[in-house]
Chain A
Amino acid sequence: MTRRTWVILGATSIIAERFAHLAAQAGHHLILVGRDDPQLMLIAADIQLRYQVSCTSLCINMTEPPDLLLDILKQSDGESDLFIAHSDFADNAHLDPGAINRLLTINVLSTTILIHTYLNSKQTEHHLLFLSSVAACRGRAKNSLYGGSKAAIEIYLQGLQQSASKQQHITIARLGFIDTRQTYGVPGVFYAASPEACAKACWKAVHKKKRMFYYPFFWRVLMAIISRLPFFIYKKIKA
Chain B
Amino acid sequence: MRSKKLLLTNFSRALSSESLCIRPEKEGQLSDYIYNNKINNLLARGAGLSYSDSCLNKEGYIVDMNRLNHLISFDTNSGVVVCQGGALFRDLFLLHPDYIPPVLPGTMHATVAGGIAHDVHGKNNPHAGSFGHHIQWFELHLNGKTFRCSREEHADLFHATIAGLGLTGIITRIAIRLKKASRYVEADHIPMTSFSSLMKEMKDTGLHYDYQVAWLDLLNPGQHSLLSLAKYGAPVPLRKKETHSIAKLPFGLIKQWNMKLFNTLYYKIKKKKEHLALEEFNNPLDTIAQWNRLYGPKGFIQFQAVFHQDEAETLEQLIALIRHHKATPTLAVLKLFEQNGEGLLSFCKPGFTIAIDFINNTEAKQAVMAMNQLITEINGRIYLAKDILLLPEQYQKMYPNHQSFTQILRNYHSPMHSDLATRLEIAE
Interface residues of A (CB under 8 A from B): 12, 14, 36, 39, 42-43, 45-46, 49-51, 181, 184-186
Q: Would you list 17 pairs from A and B whose C-beta atoms are within 8 A, ordered by A residue?
A: A14-B67, A36-B26, A39-B26, A42-B72, A45-B72, A45-B73, A49-B71, A49-B72, A49-B95, A50-B71, A50-B91, A181-B25, A184-B4, A184-B23, A185-B2, A185-B4, A186-B2
Measured between beta carbons, the chain B residues less than 8 angstroms from A39 are 26
Tell me if B94 and A51 are in contact (CB < 8 A).
yes
Indicate if B3 sits at the interface (CB-CB under 8 A): yes
How extensive is the interface on chain B, given as a class?
10 to 19
Alpha-carbon separation in the docked complex, A186 to B73 (Å) = 35
In the complex, A12→B3 CA distance in Å? Answer: 20
Given contacts A45-B70, A185-B2, contact A50 B94 (CB under 8 A): yes
Shortest B47–chain A CB gap in Å is 14
Indicate which residue in B22, B71, B91 contacts A45 across the interface (CB closer than 8 Å).
B71
Q: Chain A nearest CB: distance from B19 CB in Å? A: 13
Docked CA distance A121–B411 (Å): 62
User: With a CB–CB cut-off of 8 A, which chain A residues contact B73?
Assistant: 45, 49
CA distance A50 to B93 in the complex (A): 9
Report B25 CB to chain A, min CB distance, Å.
6
B59 to chain A, nearest CB (A): 17
B12 CB to nearest chain A CB (Å): 23
A49 and B74 within 8 A (CB): yes
Q: Which of B1-56 contact A (CB under 8 A)?
A: 1-4, 22-23, 25-26
Chain B residues positioned under 8 Å from A14 (CB to CB): 25, 67
Complex alpha-carbon distance, A184 and B73, angstroms: 30
When the two chains form their complex, are residues A46 and B70 in contact, meaning their CB atoms are under 8 A apart? yes
Determine the chain B residues whose CB is within 8 A of the CB of A50 once the complex forms: 71, 91, 94-95
Closest Cβ–Cβ distance, residue B249 to chain A (whole Å): 20
A36 to B26, CA, bound (A): 10
Most buried by B among A36, A43, A50, A185: A185
What is the distance, in angstroms, from B4's C-beta to the closest C-beta of chain A?
4
Which A-B residue pairs are the 8 nearest by beta carbons?
A185-B2, A185-B4, A46-B70, A49-B71, A50-B94, A46-B71, A42-B70, A185-B3
Q: Which chain B positions have C-beta within 8 A of A45? A: 70-73
Residues of A within 8 A of B67 (CB): 14
CB distance from A199 to the nearest CB of B (A): 14
Min CB distance A233 to B, Å, is: 30
* Complexed CA–CA distance, A42 and B2 (Å): 23
Give min CB distance, B407 to chain A, whole Å. Answer: 36
- Closest B residue to A48 by CB, please name it: B71
How far apart sit A196 and B106, CA to CA, in the bound complex (Å)? 24
Contacting residues, chain B, for A42 (C-beta < 8 A): 70, 72
Closest chain B residue, CB of each to CB of A186: B2
Contact partners of A185 in chain B: CB under 8 A: 2-4, 22
A43 vs B71: C-alpha distance when bound (angstroms): 8
Chain A residues with CB below 8 A from B4, complex form: 184-185
Determine which residue in B3, B67, B91, B95 has the highest number of CB atoms from chain A within 10 A of its CB, and name it: B67
Chain A residue nearest in CB terms to B70: A46
Bitwise interface map of B from 132 to 176 toward A, beta carbon under 8 Å scored 1, else 0: 000000000000000000000000000000000000000000000
Give A181 to B25 CA distance when docked, in angstroms.
Answer: 8
